[in-house]
Chains A and B, each alone.
Chain A
Amino acid sequence: MNRFIAFVKKEFFHILRDRRTLLILFGLPLAQVLLFGFALTNEIKNAKIAILDNDKSQHSQQITNKLLASGYFQLQENLRSNHDIERAFRKGNIKLAVVFPTGFTANYEHGRSTQIQLLADASEQNTAISLTNYATAIIRDYTAERNPNAQPPLTIDVRSRMVFNPELKGAFVFVPGVMAMVLLLVSALMTSVTIARERETGTLEVLMVSPLTQGQILLGKVVPYLLLSFVNGCIIIALGVFVLHVPLNGSLLLLLSETLLFIFLALSIGIFISSLVDTQLVAMFASLMAMLLPTIFLSGFIFPIESMPKPLQIISNIIPAKYFISIVKGIMIKGAGLQYLWQPTAVLIGMSLFFMGLSLRNLKTRLS
């Protein structure tokens, strides 16, 4: 046991002596969370719109006011004719145009069918869809308020409610994703580099000749990073909850345990990578390529897995972050317990054992 403690202590010296390691370890998560949390958001606020009011009446004015009061829209210009619509879009400074036809109020008051035209700039298709949805909802709201008793026969009234995230906040998606990414990156990168460094300097050979067992060497490499990464995980959770206001509906204990499990998996992958490569540089690139890119693109962190082509959907099943993200979302946002999350948890445990076993074997054969 004393041998093991001496080994772990040495690892801490390595980490604390190396400014760059420390910076990556603690600077990266902070920067990522704040960047993704604040800068990258798919919520829409103050989208610029144009109004073409051919009716200039009471109702068209009130609907316009209601749209602008919602906070989603901001009036860029009042158009005078249909020709202006195209010009305004061309200039690129409006995202949506609202057109009231002549006789709008008259038709509306007499109970005849009326129309409002919404034109959206679909060169940004997601924004266009969101904006027309918001505007439609606001206009429908207006008519409902006006005629609370009007029950047009035989119409189906669709009401949607966004459960778990009624305000459609982007941070709900990004915080679990960033957490997975940072933990995976930091843990896997750090361990793979530290073992490759021992190999490069020849000290690994000396360790293998010493009475330390292979298990002790691997564990000694893992323990310091496990602790530091766990602190990291806690910082990210705290930032998410207190700064970005992501709810924590489930059990904190479960969340922390799952985080620890995921860190252990990331470390196993790091050791696995280092058991395959010879130099720190290769270890670093391998970790980045094998971890960062698949995690960003295939974990469902940025692009929804459901809308990927079938082959990519299948590949996404081997991305550890996919399971961790669904677990974190489940716990924090849906308040789910282990009875709902045992499946992804089991996958993470299985992956950890797989990589640990493989790297133990590799390390042995490679030294021979």
Chain B
Amino acid sequence: MEKAVSTNALTKKFGSFIATNAITFDVAQGEIFGFLGANGAGKTTAMRMLCGLLKPTSGEASVAGFDVYRQSEKIKQNIGYMSQRFSLYEDLTVRENIRFYGGIYGLRRADIPAKTDQILQKLGIESVADSLVASLPLGWKQKLSFSVALIHEPRIVFLDEPTGGVDPITRRQFWDLIYEAAHGGTTVFVTTHYMDEAEYCHRVSIMVDGVMKALDTPAGLKTAYNVDSMDAVFQILARGTSTK
């Protein structure tokens, strides 16, 4: 299968601090790839390098077939991005937000109204289309933010801790959207520190202190470490403690 993301010894140093240390991995097209790690483990740095926000210190990486050093403009046109703080404008209405992101991602003006209706319908939020985003509940904002990140049908979507601060039911609904996108062929690259979410991913990688300590399917990891939950796997790798 074609690779959506491919890295080889990708490294980023800030002065003498090594944020990500020679990480090497591939992500297949249509895969849901989980990127796990404690705060400061280097997962945000790695993601920012892949999004073209940060120049790597050394190593190689390509996203959607484009090189991160030389073709970051091309990469930007082929990826979607949702930050942990959503990325919607609270003083704009739902419709205006959709129109704005459609506009900056280069959708044709004539296509935007149809696209807007499609998103509103899918999320079942037609009734609040002309309300300010500030007035929406958190879960709706998250779903809208995700749909907006997919508005230009990117090959890969990067989600940086997308489910922070919402209840498990809303989180479950959010993952339904992620599955739907992956089913349509979009690669989903997601960072999280919720271990129940790690179970939903096709494959997960676990970062500890800038190093990629493990990379496998959730089932594979649980077998390898002989535990029954991702949480236990993470405990063993990240904290060096064993629950065996």
Rounded to whole angstroms, the CA-CA distance of A211 and B83 in the bound complex is 16
Taking the closest CB of chain B, its distance from the CB of A251, in whole angstroms, is 39
Q: Taking the complex as formed, is B201 at the interface, i.e. its CB lies under 8 A from any CB of chain A?
A: no
Interface residues of B in 82-116 (CB under 8 A from A): 82-92, 96, 99-106, 108-109
Q: Check A202–B86 contact: CB distance below 8 A.
A: yes
Interface residues of A in 120-143 (CB under 8 A from B): none
Residues A202 and B87 in contact in the complex (CB < 8 Å), given A6-B104, A7-B104, A13-B96: yes
Choose among A13, A201, A210 the residue that contacts B105 (Cβ–Cβ < 8 A): A210
Closest to A7 in B: B104
Closest to A14 in B: B91
Q: Check B103–A7 contact: CB distance below 8 A.
A: yes
Interface residues of A in 1-42 (CB under 8 A from B): 2-3, 5-7, 9-10, 13-14, 17-18
Q: Which residues on A sit within 8 Å (CB–CB) of B79?
A: 209
Q: Which residues on B sit within 8 Å (CB–CB) of A9?
A: 100, 103
Q: Taking the complex as formed, is A206 at the interface, i.e. its CB lies under 8 A from any CB of chain B?
A: yes
Q: Which residues on B sit within 8 Å (CB–CB) of A201?
A: 85, 89-90
Taking the closest CB of chain B, its distance from the CB of A325, in whole angstroms, is 36
Rounded to whole angstroms, the CA-CA distance of A207 and B84 in the bound complex is 14
Q: Check B100–A203 contact: CB distance below 8 A.
A: no
Closest to A203 in B: B87
Choose among A7, A13, A207, A211 the residue that contacts B91 (Cβ–Cβ < 8 A): A13
Q: Check B85–A202 contact: CB distance below 8 A.
A: yes
Q: Check B84–A211 contact: CB distance below 8 A.
A: no
Q: Taking the complex as formed, is A205 at the interface, i.e. its CB lies under 8 A from any CB of chain B?
A: yes
Q: Which residues on A sit within 8 Å (CB–CB) of B85?
A: 201-202
Interface SS of chain A:
helix
Interface residues of B in 104-131 (CB under 8 A from A): 104-106, 108-109
Q: Check B86–A6 contact: CB distance below 8 A.
A: no
Q: Which residues on A sit within 8 Å (CB–CB) of B190?
A: none
Interface residues of B in 149-164 (CB under 8 A from A): 158
Q: Check B100–A6 contact: CB distance below 8 A.
A: yes
Taking the closest CB of chain B, its distance from the CB of A77, in whole angstroms, is 63
Q: Check B99–A6 contact: CB distance below 8 A.
A: yes
Q: How many residues of B contact A (CB 8 A)?
A: 33
Rounded to whole angstroms, the CA-CA distance of A318 and B239 in the bound complex is 56
Q: Which residues on B sit within 8 Å (CB–CB) of A203?
A: 87-89
Q: Check B76–A210 contact: CB distance below 8 A.
A: yes
Residues A368 and B54 in contact in the complex (CB < 8 Å), given A6-B103, A206-B87: yes
Q: Check A211–B87 contact: CB distance below 8 A.
A: no
Q: Which residues on B sit within 8 Å (CB–CB) of A208?
A: 53
Residues A367 and B91 in contact in the complex (CB < 8 Å), given A13-B96, A206-B83, A210-B105: no
Q: Taking the complex as formed, is B135 at the interface, i.e. its CB lies under 8 A from any CB of chain A?
A: no
Q: Check B53–A2 contact: CB distance below 8 A.
A: no
Category for how many chain A residues contact B: 20 to 34
Q: Check B53–A205 contact: CB distance below 8 A.
A: yes
Q: Taking the complex as formed, is A212 at the interface, i.e. its CB lies under 8 A from any CB of chain B?
A: yes
Q: Check A211–B53 contact: CB distance below 8 A.
A: no
Q: Check B87–A5 contact: CB distance below 8 A.
A: no
Closest to A212 in B: B104
Q: Taking the complex as formed, is B71 at the interface, i.e. its CB lies under 8 A from any CB of chain A?
A: no
Rounded to whole angstroms, the CA-CA distance of A212 and B81 in the bound complex is 13
Q: Taking the complex as formed, is B221 at the interface, i.e. its CB lies under 8 A from any CB of chain A?
A: no
Choose among A5, A6, A13, A368 the residue that contacts B53 (Cβ–Cβ < 8 A): A368
Q: Which residues on A sit within 8 Å (CB–CB) of B86?
A: 202
Q: Check A3–B103 contact: CB distance below 8 A.
A: yes
Closest to B78 in A: A211
Taking the closest CB of chain B, its distance from the CB of A19, in whole angstroms, is 11
Taking the closest CB of chain B, its distance from the CB of A360, in whole angstroms, is 16
CB 8 Å contact bits of A209-234 with B (1 = contact, 0 = none)? 11111000000000000000000000
> What are 14 pairs between A and B in contact, CB < 8 Å?
A2-B108, A3-B105, A6-B104, A7-B103, A201-B89, A202-B86, A203-B88, A203-B89, A205-B81, A206-B83, A209-B158, A210-B101, A368-B53, A368-B54
Q: Which residues of B contact A (CB under 8 A)?
A: 51-55, 73, 76-77, 79, 81-92, 96, 99-106, 108-109, 158
Q: Which residues of A contact B (CB under 8 A)?
A: 2-3, 5-7, 9-10, 13-14, 17-18, 201-203, 205-213, 367-368
Q: Given A14-B89, A17-B91, A211-B105, 15 other A-B contacts at CB below 8 A?
A: A2-B106, A3-B105, A3-B106, A5-B103, A6-B102, A7-B104, A10-B89, A10-B96, A203-B87, A205-B83, A206-B82, A206-B87, A207-B104, A209-B79, A210-B81
